[in-house]
């Protein structure tokens, strides 16, 4: 594997706090040196001019759904990898919501082997908490960890039994594995399809109250403290949930939470045209809640921003709003949508990148997510001001259900490297 030197780039590494002009030297798939200044003399290898570009760690997306195995017509590991690379995501956690569900060591092994053979980026399997994702019987945590699972999750589903969840937390703590749990009270969600409030009433749609999220979140945090598990609330969406998490973090360092880029950059008003691509779980909330998410990110209450990439085919999306399936794709727009907050002055670049690099790596125990000597050479080059529009015919995912269709964005990944190898290059870019 040849040596590589990226010169003259603005290096932003949230893990070390470095933000300045420098060069990155890569050898044998790892970072060999980080050199401050505009150029690095005397180093051999291919040279790339990173002038006017940001060099950052590759993004780690903690919530990605694929269709493989079982629903390859929606998304394969290969197509998800193409989309991820184009979006600057060098590693993603694959949720276990497949057919069959990833609830057995052999299936974890299959996913890893399949990903190695077909996917351009690193795939990190999340193993199911319960068999078949049915919320009734706990899986074999030890065997799943041994097979290569990085965490336990029931994906889109939320475990309703407190006793079963306590047992799962206890087992996960014994194996020192994080649990990523979707917080939703099924009885309170009911037939709801969007945020409960005046806007839902005007549209004639059934609402989902904030308590459908905050009640199970409070329960989970108490059970997590009881079991001593590393607990991650998969995604929160309400201001009240921020307050609950803030209080829990004052008592424990083992609890973290994430937010979908959708809930960070969109609100319930986007549902106004009954566009089913905006039907999500959790639903898009009020503008006040969205602002609370931004403040939670700035204050550090929110640890992770993820895409919640959930490919759905036209058959389940081309339905009346109340009958359509939840979910939207997001791997290709994750970074650019997050950069909206940077361009608006709401959040600085380091904070946004930290939530997609350093913090996911720390939660999952990965060596990636940072620019440090000996770390994997997973990095991206970003043009922060590159103007572009999201167009359906340019989407690399097999599904087209993006919440950002037609959106005009500023900021794009021009090159993505995994293990020192280029896996994506923007057409016409010099990197």
pLDDT at 62: 98
**Mapping DSSP to helix (H, G, I), strand (E, B) and coil, where does residue 404 land?**
coil
Give percent of the chain above pLDDT 70.
98
pLDDT at 273: 87
Contacts of 6 (CB under 8 A, 6+ apart): 23, 24, 26, 47, 48, 50, 55, 379, 381, 431
pLDDT at 36: 87
Q: Give the Cα separation of 278 and 267 in Å (integer).
A: 9
Return the CATH fold of 4-55+376-425: Urease, subunit C; domain 1 (2.30.40)
Catalytic residue selected from 220, 308, 310, 383: 308
Domain residues of the chain, as ranges?
Answer: 4-55+376-425, 59-364
pLDDT at 316: 94
CATH level 2 (architecture), domain 59-364? Alpha-Beta Barrel (3.20)
Q: pLDDT averaged over the chain?
A: 96
Question: What count of other Cβ atoms lies within 10 Å of the Cβ of residue 316?
Answer: 15
Q: How confident is the model at residue 159 (pLDDT cuts 50, 70, 90)?
A: very high
Check pLDDT > 80 for residue 41: no
Q: What is the mean pLDDT of residues 123-140?
A: 98
Q: What is the mean pLDDT of residues 11-16?
A: 97
Cβ atoms of 314 and 70 within 8 Å: the answer is: no
Q: What spatial distance separates the first Cα and last Cα of the chain, rounded to whole Å?
A: 18
pLDDT at 81: 98
Q: What is the pLDDT of residues 251-289, one digit of tens each?
A: 999 999 999 999 999 999 999 889 999 999 999 999 999
Query: What φ, ψ does residue 199 adopt, rounded to 5°?
Result: -65, -40
Check pLDDT > 90 for residue 409: yes
Q: What is the pLDDT of residues 336-359, one digit of tens each?
A: 999 999 999 999 999 999 999 999
Q: What is the pLDDT of residues 43-57, one digit of tens each?
A: 777 899 999 999 999
pLDDT at 155: 97
pLDDT at 387: 96
Check pLDDT > 90 for residue 430: no
Q: What is the mean pLDDT of residues 141-156?
A: 98
Check pLDDT > 90 for residue 377: yes
| Of 173, 150, 165, residue with least CA distance to 95 | 150
Pairing of strands 151-153, 122-127: parallel
Which pairs count as long-range contacts for 388-393, CB under 8 Å and 24+ apart, including other chains?
388/336, 388/412, 390/332, 390/333
Check pLDDT > 70 for residue 383: yes
pLDDT at 431: 65
pLDDT at 168: 98
Q: What is the pLDDT of residues 179-237, one digit of tens each?
A: 999 999 999 999 999 999 999 999 999 999 999 999 999 999 999 999 999 999 999 99
Contacts of 80 (CB under 8 A, 6+ apart): 64, 66, 92, 94, 119, 309, 331, 397
pLDDT at 79: 98
Does the active-site annotation cover 308?
Answer: yes
Residue 403 structure tokens = 């919440």
pTM over 0.95: yes
pLDDT at 45: 79
């Amino acid at each position: 594997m040849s040596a590589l030197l990226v010169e003259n780039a603005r290096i932003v590494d949230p893990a070390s706090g470095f933000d300045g002009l420098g060069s990155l030297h890569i050898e044998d798939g790892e970072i060999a040196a980080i050199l401050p200044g505009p150029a690095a003399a005397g180093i051999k290898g291919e040279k790339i001019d990173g002038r006017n570009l940001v060099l950052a760690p590759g993004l780690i997306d903690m919530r990605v759904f694929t269709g493989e195995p079982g629903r390859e017509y929606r998304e394969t590991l290969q197509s998800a990898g193409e989309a991820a690379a184009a979006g600057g995501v060098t590693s993603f956690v694959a949720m276990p919501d497949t057919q069959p569900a990833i609830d057995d060591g052999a299936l974890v092994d299959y996913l890893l082997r399949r990903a190695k053979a077909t996917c351009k980026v690193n795939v990190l399997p999340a193993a199911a908490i319960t068999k078949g994702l049915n919320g009734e019987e706990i899986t074999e945590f030890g065997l799943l960890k041994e097979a290569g699972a990085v965490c336990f999750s029931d994906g889109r589903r939320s475990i309703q039994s407190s006793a079963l969840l306590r047992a799962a937390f206890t087992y996960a703590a014994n194996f020192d594995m994080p649990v990523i749990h979707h917080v939703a009270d099924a009885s309170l969600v009911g037939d709801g399809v969007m945020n409960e409030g005046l806007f839902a009433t005007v549209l004639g749609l059934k609402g989902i109250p904030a308590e459908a999220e905050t009640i199970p979140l409070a329960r989970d945090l108490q059970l997590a403290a009881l079991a001593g598990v590393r607990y991650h609330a998969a995604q929160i969406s309400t201001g009240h949930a921020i307050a609950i998490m803030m209080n829990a973090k004052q008592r424990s360092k083992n609890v973290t939470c994430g937010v979908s880029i959708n809930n960070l950059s969109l609100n319930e008003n986007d549902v106004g045209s009954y566009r089913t691509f905006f039907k999500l779980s959790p639903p898009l909330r009020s503008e006040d809640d969205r602002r609370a998410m931004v403040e939670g990110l700035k204050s550090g209450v929110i640890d992770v921003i993820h895409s919640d990439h959930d490919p759905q085919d036209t058959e389940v999306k081309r339905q009346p709003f109340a009958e359509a399936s939840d979910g939207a794709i997001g791997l290709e727009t994750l970074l650019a949508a997050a950069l909206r907050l940077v361009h608006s002055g709401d959040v600085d670049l380091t904070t946004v990148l930290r939530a997609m690099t350093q913090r996911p790596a720390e939660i999952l125990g990965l060596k990636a997510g940072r620019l440090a000597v000996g770390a994997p050479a997973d990095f991206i080059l970003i043009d922060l001001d590159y103007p572009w529009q999201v167009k359906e015919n340019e989407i690399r995912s097999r599904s087209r259900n993006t919440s950002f269709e037609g959106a005009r964005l500023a900021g794009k990944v021009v090159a993505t490297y995994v293990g020192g190898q280029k896996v994506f290059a923007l057409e016409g870019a010099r990197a």
